[in-house]
Structure 1
Amino acid sequence: MVRLVVGHSRDLMAAREQLEQQQTIQAMIVEEAPLDQTLEAICRMLEAQLQGGICSIMQADVDERRLHLIAGERLSTAYRQAIVSVAIGPDVGACGSSAHRRELVVCEDLALDPRWERIADLAASEGLRACWSYPVIARDGRLLGTFATYYRRPATPGSHELERIVQAVDLVALAMERAQDRRALWESEQRYRSLFTYNPDAVFSMDLQGHFVTANDHCAALTGYSVEALRGTHFSEFLQPDDLAAVQQTFELTGAGEPCRYELQVPHRDGTLHRLDLTTLPVVVDERIIGVYGIAKDVTRRREHETRLRILERGVEASVNGVLIADAGVPGLPIIYANDAFQRITGYARAEVIGRNAHFLQGSETDPAAVQKLRHELAQHREVHVTLCNYRKDGTPFWNDLYISPVRDEQGAVTHYVGIQHDISEQKTYEAHLAYHAGHDALTGLANRSLLEDRLVHDVELVRRQGKRLAVLFLDLDEFKPINDSLGHAVGDELLRGVAQRLSAAMRPGDTLARLGGDEFVVLLPDLHDAGQAMEVAERLLSIVSRPYRVGAHELSLSCSIGIAVSGADIEQPLELIQQADMAMYRAKQQGRNACQWFTPEIIHRMGDRVTLRNELQEAIEAQAFELHYQPLIDREGKVAGVEALLRWPHPLRGYISPAQFIPLAEETGQIIPISEWVLARACRDLHQLDRVGLGRLNVAVNLSPLQFHRASFLGKLRETLAVTGLPAPQLSLELTEGVLMNDTEGAIETLHALRTMGVGVAIDDFGTGFSSLSYLKHLPIDRVKIDRSFVSGVANSAEDAAIIQGIISMAHHLGLKVVAEGIEQEQQHHLLTAHGCDLFQGFLFARPMPLESLIEFLAEHRPLSIDGA
């Protein structure tokens, strides 16, 4: 048994060493170590694996005729010199035969093998008796070389040896291919650096048979054939028959090593002839000529001057732009030429403009500054570009985008001016259209935010100079979203247009009414003598907006909330007025809507505190910087029947922040979702921990956020939390307010049934303060109701509160529900509630909320009731 273990350990060590050797060699290949070093490393690896084996590697030349020794340090110098180059053939030793046949060749005994007859003495003097040679083949089928393994005794390979040899051969193939790839890349870089990069002329290369190998884009331009079409094509296909013999002779001279330069006329694909100044050079790599480079410069003679002038004249006549030529040598720059497009644009015949100065096209709306610029640049004999309002012969205006350039003679003197005019009237109209829409709301036609901000800056500066006041009114429609959502966006848009029309009709000249988007409007009231005028306008707008609207078959009613900000000496940035009015509007919303609210510094502080509190709350969420305190629930016998989990936030600077301060903010911002999920998970973990330490299976009540309850993922998250924490579902009770159930009542009841199926308890918190407690209570699958503390506080002094509590308890018991009274602080309250039949009690009279550590101590003194008796 010990031998088997030792043998197995040796095998594992050998396998590990083999893997490490392969990884080392692969690293050498990746890091591009010299090929001979990499191949020697492979030989050493296989020699270590095959006891008694001596390895050598030979590399095939390009034409696969000979093998050249590249690795085999364990062979003697004399033997390596003797086999430094071996022919590839059917009976040339082991390596030559293996390369020829491309398969493993095994020479079991070299002294008896006829393939070793010519070098049998050499092998004998080296002490070699067996040789196995394996061909090294590239991925594309090329012969790369051979891998030979020698032995000093007759031998044939077994499966183990063959497996190791094949692994080594794969590494050799990989190393050789990588080396050849690097070599090919180096040669390619030489070619392209030599001729192709940044060369403005046509550059190409050919093989020694005259076929194009590479060509740049200028070759395509000269011949009319794409670069792809040129590659592989013989140069004779692009020559005229009479030039073929001479070009073939010069090509052969270059292929023999002699550079040549000559001119040649080459036909373009379109039939035109290009005269080229052609230089051919031999391509030399490793002292071998492997091809021919060519550099061709286009030296085609330009067309005759008269032909060019005719073409230019025809082009000018065909132009869609007006073209004028004026004589710079005559005072007044008289027109000597006008094309057909000029006549079409202006309505003037050519005979009516020849000899006149072009300023006759100007009129009353022509910009004097543009005319002055035109005259100044022409006086300086410079090019000029202006846009002018010109007039046609019938008096209608058009916008002329005008370019004028001087024409100089051989000495540089200006002889003429050429003017190009482009009628851009349609473009100007379109730009005006875009400019209007860039500053106006597409739906209502009112000013948009961009135009509003421009007007605001202007109005603020104006009232500063005049010593008057500027008021900004920020108006937001109340409850517009439900109308938009229920009746559709078409009705909503029509309603917004109706509001915009009413507000527009109430504006004074000089006032600005803008729509910021959605249902938000802003009014600028400049030229105010006192701030009271702004309030008068705001109250009038409240009345205007609140009148009923008729939209199709619908009669709709709206109200709005308005915030007012007035300019003062402390306003540095005009946009602050919009921000202040926006904050005041938000305050008006909070005060019940359909109201106006002045901006005050207190609003900034309040909003700033709100933003700060929200940011700090987010930091607390991310750091999970909350605590859970637990307040016991006591049964009628005075035993602990459960606990309620209460969230606490210990702020590092402010101390404990009241939940009444941060919970409403979290509800508004949606931050309540991660908070609620944390509370639920933490409470479940803590209660499960109490059970593990032997303090009883207590029920824990957790307050549930309305947002969390109505989320589609609520039930799935709850199941996941119970599964992860290990708390049994019957130990968890969720407390919901009546308002949660009034929103989507059917969906809420469906969720409550799912909770009951899971075994999770549900209690109605603050019972008695909702809208229809008694009517829907009988339909809800719940377990408990919690009497609101406002009734409990007055039970000892108010007969009405006592009657309400007695009614709630009686009704709940008839429905099979338990009743919890919270906020008990006096013994008299406890006594009366007990007399009325209340089941569970909670309040400072019994215990204050406490952290888990204190709860553990408390429970040690008060043995908790089991979950079944809770």
Structure 2
Amino acid sequence: MARSRALAEARHQLEDQQSIQAMIARDRPLDDTLAAVCRMLERQSPGALCSIMLSEAEGARLRLVAGESLPEAYRAAVSEVAIGPESGACGSAAYRQAPVVCEDLATDPRWQGYHEITAEHGLRACWSYPVLASDGTTLGTFALYCREPGGPSEQEAALIGKAVGLVALAVERHRVRHSLRESEQRYRSLFAYNPDAVFSLDLEGHFVSANATCSTVTGYAVEEMLGAHFAAFVVADDLPRIQGYFEAACRGESRHYELDILNRDGERRALDLLNLPIVVDGRVRGVYGIAKDITERRRQETRLRTLQRGVEASVNGVVIADAREPDMPIVYANATFMKMTGYREDEILGRNCRFMQGEETDPEAVAMIRRHLAEQREVLVTLRNYRKDGTPFWNDAFISPVRDGEGRVTHFVGVLHDISEHKAYEARLAYHASHDALTGLANRALFEDRLAHDFALARRHGHRLAVLFVDLDDFKPINDSLGHAVGDRVLTEVARRLADTVRPGDTLARLGGDEFVILLPGLHHEEQAMEVAERLLPMVARPYCVDGHEHYLTCSVGIAVSRDDTAQPQELIQQADMAMYKAKQQGRNAYQWFTREITEKVGERVALRNDLQEAIDGGQFELHYQPLIGRGDRLAGVEALLRWHHPVKGYVSPARFIPLAESTGQIMPISEWVLERACRDMQALAARGLGQVRVAVNLSPLQFHRASFLATLRHTLQRTGLPPEQLELELTEGILMDDTEAAIDILHALRSLRIGVSIDDFGTGYSSLSYLKHLPIGKVKIDRSFINEVTLSAHDAAIVQGIISMAHHLGLAVVAEGIETAAQHQRLTDYGCDIFQGFLLARPMPLDRLEAFLRARLPA
């Protein structure tokens, strides 16, 4: 029976072992398997309590994983045990990798700290065996607790050894399976979550597997790709090359290359592809592919290449500095920058851009650059930099920060546009804006600026300054006769001579034409200005030699000196100008000081001119008519005389306003009005039954020489209806002597129109008598200055008698004007004068009184 019990026991042990081995083979949960091992040994050793502890991954501690028979409080106390030489039975066994038998827990020093709890639960002995892996590493411990002190018997040790073997097998197999599962999960994660396209092909080139990125790249679902041949995705022209790479991978060689594929929408995508052989048991079973979509990268590379070529070919200098380095060294400079600065690349790289600055570089612009760089902002400045050879150049510099993906500034890009030519052009414009192009002297704008500046200084320091206005005398004939080229050379020489007369601090300017001004600041006495004028007069008067010919010029100078009551500096220019005209009136080639009397006369002239214009616009003029009486007291006609009745000043003498109107050009509208008014008045007299009265109208030189004179005259006669035979025009000798040939042509035209012409004030001019016989005129009028003395002066009487005799021999009628006494009238009658005019016979009268005068002469 004993042998039967032993056989039965052995059979039970074998069955328990087989049952546990089956659990291990079936991959039952490790905790269940280990618990079954504990129960197995507890059945084989009645009264024993078993536990299994496994080492943590770091190998420093043991963790309780099985031991259901142990009291719960004890399990909690030993749930984790440190691995060490004196750490109880289990910690010591794991440390020593050898069994540790503690026969009496109550006295064993290795159980320090656990004596009380073991005693409480009746645990007296503990035998712990290490569980080792096949490679010798410690997997954990298997422990058996007894309630009586003592060590294991030989049979118990054998049973524990078998249990330890089963535990080692279960734990190691579990860890292998776990490692395989983890490796598989890692592989699947690498495959599934790889941002690149990962796939595998069989040896024929068909897709066996593909991750989701493959679908993203190609546009096809993974299910559509599986089983398809890779050639369906490759650009046809590139297929032979790709086929070669695939075949190389099938031979066990890896290949790395780029290719283009067509996605589902027909778009071309660029891939960076790595082909790897799949080797199993030493044989190639397929091909792995890892493809990175580089379409955007290639696009960026193309863009970068284009940008780089554009930067290299740019007409602007481009430089890049590293913002991460303390001194921001240059890391790139294009060819234009090197050409612009004259430095080689190795002389530029690594340096700060300040090496281009020099003594005339604007410090404010540099400070602005530094401030914006510190604030990491873009900046645009204009700088004067210097080339390697020291020559300056101007450039517009635009500097902009470059930021990385996180917004940090890594570099600064500077673009330099060379504006040296533009600056030079601006300088030339500024020079021409302030200087005369012909002479190089200051112009009016610059002169006025300096005048204002020196005027303010003179007031501040109590000094005087003077303005000299220089105008050349008779310069216009040089331009008219010899041409502007000669005139310009003369003006240039005049400018040079004037420049020799002034001090370094004085300002000489040309206002235009033949007008120059000189500013003399810092005068201590007025005589200094006079000394300058006295020096320049003879200097200007020296002959000018141009093209072998000598030309003579003089100038007139007006001088104005600042005084305490001078309000504005520009007044000095006006005053010097007025003084210059005074010098011309005094005979030219002289200088004249400005006086208040000049201002008053100019003021009167300006006021009179304004009043004259108001008279023209407001119709303030009147025509009076003075009868011309022929021999035998017959009416020979009337002379139209202009009268101006000012609303405030009354009648203004023609001697005052006619010369002014001649000089201002206002005589033209006045003359046209006189002509038309006289024609209409004569027509009015005819309409009132007073016959066809012949009217004489005085012509101004401007009116006579105007190109439209004849056309205007014809139009006036047509408009008024006056017969041309009733009109007579009176001209002075000066009109006829100015361009005589043209004047004679006009006189012939007047004769063809049947308009009479007489020469007024005859004998006072400088006309040539040889021309007189060729003039198509009908009358001459002896000037009143001869008539006044005809009875008192034998010389005047002889002149008058000679004029009458000469005129009659030329077939001309003679008119004597200004007759005021009967003796004058009788003397002229005796001399054979034809027509008489003067207060003695009839005074000038308005139209209504002329009408009465004419009616009184009608026969009864």
**TM-score, normalised with respect to structure 2:** 0.63
Change (3 A) 1:816 1:397: closer
Change (3 A) 1:770 1:354: closer
Change (3 A) 1:615 1:301: farther
Distance 1:835 1:828 in 2: 10
2:748 to 753, 763, 776: 753
- Give 2:348's aligned residue: 353
Contact 2:734 2:767 (C-alpha < 8 Å) held by counterparts: no
5 Å-filtered alignment, 1:485-500, equals: 485-500=480-495
User: Displacement, 1:326?
Assistant: 2.1
- Give 1:451's aligned residue: 446
Change (3 A) 1:373 1:800: same
Change (3 A) 1:412 1:645: same
User: Displacement, 1:421?
Assistant: 2.4
- Give 1:225's aligned residue: none
Instruction: Tell me, yes or no, if structure 1 residue 474 matches structure 2 residue 473.
Output: no
User: Displacement, 1:660?
Assistant: 1.0
5 Å-filtered alignment, 1:58-97, equals: none
- Give 1:603's aligned residue: 598
SS of 1:697's equivalent? coil
% identity of equivalent residues: 69
5 Å-filtered alignment, 1:23-102, equals: none
Distance 1:434 1:720 in 2: 51
1:822 to 817, 831, 841: 817
Q: 1:441-472: per-residue Cα shift (whole Å, max 9, x none)? A: 22111112222222222222222233211111
- Give 1:741's aligned residue: 736
Change (3 A) 1:821 1:344: closer
Which runs of 5 or more residues in structure 2 are unaligned? 1-262, 271-294
- Give 2:280's aligned residue: none
Distance 1:660 1:670 in 2: 16
- Give 2:835's aligned residue: 840
How many residues matched? 574
AA at the equivalent of 1:752: L
Q: 1:768-793: per-residue Cα shift (whole Å, max 9, x none)? A: 11113644333322222211111111
Distance 2:448 2:569 in 1: 8
Deviates more, 1:561-570 or 1:396-405: 396-405
1:782 to 777, 780, 783: 777
1:764 to 751, 759, 764: 759
Change (3 A) 1:301 1:663: farther
Distance 1:758 1:426 in 2: 67
5 Å-filtered alignment, 1:453-852, equals: 453-772=448-767, 774-852=769-847
- Give 1:127's aligned residue: none
User: Displacement, 1:859?
Assistant: 1.5
Contact 1:639 1:863 (C-alpha < 8 Å) held by counterparts: no
Which runs of 5 or more residues in structure 1 are unaligned? 1-262, 274-299, 866-870
- Give 2:162's aligned residue: none
SS of 1:779's equivalent? coil
Distance 1:377 1:691 in 2: 94
Distance 1:713 1:318 in 2: 66
AA at the equivalent of 2:427: A
Distance 1:864 1:718 in 2: 34
User: Displacement, 1:764?
Assistant: 1.4
Change (3 A) 1:582 1:355: same
Change (3 A) 1:716 1:359: closer
SS of 2:633's equivalent? coil
User: Displacement, 1:272?
Assistant: 13
Distance 1:334 1:670 in 2: 75
Larger CA Rg, structure 1 vs 2: 2
- Give 2:255's aligned residue: none
Instruction: Tell me, yes or no, if structure 1 residue 414 matches structure 2 residue 409.
Output: yes
Change (3 A) 1:814 1:398: closer
User: Displacement, 1:629?
Assistant: 0.3
Change (3 A) 1:265 1:429: farther
5 Å-filtered alignment, 1:126-205, equals: none
- Give 2:155's aligned residue: none
Instruction: Tell me, yes or no, if structure 1 residue 398 matches structure 2 residue 420.
Output: no
Distance 2:832 2:751 in 1: 25
Q: 1:355-381: per-residue Cα shift (whole Å, max 9, x none)? A: 332222323333322222222222222
Contact 2:465 2:522 (C-alpha < 8 Å) held by counterparts: yes
SS of 1:544's equivalent? helix
- Give 1:344's aligned residue: 339
Q: 1:414-453: per-residue Cα shift (whole Å, max 9, x none)? A: 2222222233333333333333233222211111222222
Contact 2:502 2:532 (C-alpha < 8 Å) held by counterparts: no
Q: 1:321-358: per-residue Cα shift (whole Å, max 9, x none)? A: 33222222222222233333333333333333333322
Deviates more, 1:453-462 or 1:549-558: 453-462
Contact 1:695 1:864 (C-alpha < 8 Å) held by counterparts: no
Instruction: Tell me, yes or no, if structure 1 residue 330 matches structure 2 residue 316.
Output: no
Superposed CA RMSD in Å reads 2.7
Change (3 A) 1:859 1:376: same
Contact 1:767 1:773 (C-alpha < 8 Å) held by counterparts: no
Change (3 A) 1:419 1:837: same
- Give 2:124's aligned residue: none
Change (3 A) 1:264 1:449: farther
Contact 1:513 1:524 (C-alpha < 8 Å) held by counterparts: yes
User: Displacement, 1:302?
Assistant: 9.1
- Give 1:223's aligned residue: none
User: Displacement, 1:794?
Assistant: 1.2
Q: 1:212-244: per-residue Cα shift (whole Å, max 9, x none)? A: xxxxxxxxxxxxxxxxxxxxxxxxxxxxxxxxx
Distance 1:576 1:793 in 2: 47
- Give 2:36's aligned residue: none
Instruction: Tell me, yes or no, if structure 1 residue 861 matches structure 2 residue 860.
Output: no
Q: 1:182-213: per-residue Cα shift (whole Å, max 9, x none)? A: xxxxxxxxxxxxxxxxxxxxxxxxxxxxxxxx
Distance 1:539 1:613 in 2: 35
Change (3 A) 1:347 1:737: closer
Distance 2:266 2:744 in 1: 90
User: Displacement, 1:304?
Assistant: 4.7
Distance 2:814 2:859 in 1: 19
Change (3 A) 1:682 1:434: closer
- Give 2:64's aligned residue: none
User: Displacement, 1:522?
Assistant: 1.2
